[in-house]
Every structure is written in structure tokens, then in C-alpha cells.
Homo-oligomer: A and B are copies of this chain.
Amino acid sequence: MPKQVDHQQRREQIADAVCRLAARDGLDAVSLRHVAAEAGVSMGRVQHYFTTKDEMLRFAFRTIGERIEQRMGAAVRDLGDSPGPRAFLRAMLLEMLPLSGTAKAEAPVLAAFLARAVVAPELTESLAADAPRLRGFVAARIGEHHPTAAVEAATLLALVDGLMLQLLTGQIDEPTAVATLDHHLDRIFDVR
């Protein structure tokens, strides 16, 4: 086991180097050589863990995704036992927005990945594959017996992605973004 943990740690260390480089110079500047230098390991070591640049990029993207999921889980757990569906979804979705310092630091990397995905879809195929599952999960929280739960879930998740994009590009400020999400959650759960 220790060896496998070490392997995972080393991969994450390399993923962190990818993220720092991408945030600084953009994804196109990320090469095996630069990543090795940034991570303080040899190029051979990087190639031992990742055979191709694409494999390395996909791993870095997935690593950020997993960290966001972990923060979502922690935010929901902080609500205590059996939170209502509105509080549950609010806590979860706020973690998808660049509001905390950690999320703001990840934002340029995520944006670079998403932009690259437009021309290289294989980079974020996990995102495309996971999207229906995420919509299904949100729809279940909105309520199995809600007449339009599926379309409500699609609307809510697109709204959050749009707020993320507008926050990252300075089109909306944080209080307005949060108020917009709250207004929409109120409507879904008829709290008005």
C-alpha cells in the first residue's frame, strides 16, 4: 500500500505543477519539460507517471474536479443531519462558483481546460459523461414528484455554470451572483 499511496501523491504533485503553470502561462505553455522543472522532478520521472501530455492534462483536470466534489461533500456535511433539499443544493452549488480563495486559484486552470475542450473534446470527456449523472442527482433532490424536475435540474446547473463564467470574466459581482442563485432556488422550492 505505501508504494501505491506514494504513486498517487506523486501524480497529484505533478498535477499541481500543471495547474500552477497553466494559471501562470496558459495551457499551451504546459510541456513535459516545464512541468518537470515546476514539480522539481526529472523529465523521466514525469514520463514514468504520464506517457503523454494529454494524459497528464486529463489527470490534472480530473484532480481539480475531485477536489471540487470533496469540497461539495464537506459543505453538505456541515449542514448537519438531514438538511432540506434547498439547503443541500445551495451548499453544493455554491462550491461550483469561484467564491473561495481555493476556487479562485483553480478558476484559470478550469477555464483553460474548458476552452481547450472546445477543440479537443477528449480532454473533458469525463465532464460530458458525468453531466447526465449530475443532472439526475440534482433532479432527485428537486423532487421525484416535481412535475418538471429534469428540466429544473438542467436549468439550475446551466445557471450555475453561467454565473461561474460571468464571475470569472468580471461580468457580475459576487453578491449579485449569489442573490441570483438564491432567487432561482426560492422559485424552484416555492419559498416566496
Contact = CB atoms under 8 A, between A and B. Distances in A.
A107 interface: yes
B180 A151 contact: yes
Nearest to A158: B162
Most B-side CB within 10 Å, residue of A28, A108, A154: A154
A165 B108 contact: no
Given A162-B165, A176-B154, A170 B121 contact: yes
A118 interface: yes
Interface in A151-180: 151, 154-155, 157-166, 168-172, 176-177, 179-180
Contacts of A169: 114, 117-118, 121, 124, 127-128
Interface of A: 23-29, 107-108, 111-112, 114-119, 121, 124-125, 127-128, 131, 148, 151, 154-155, 157-166, 168-172, 176-177, 179-180, 183-184, 187
A103 to B, nearest CB: 12
Contacts of A29: 28
Contacts of A183: 148, 151, 155
A37 B116 CA distance: 24
A92 to B, nearest CB: 16
B170 A128 contact: yes
A64 to B, nearest CB: 14
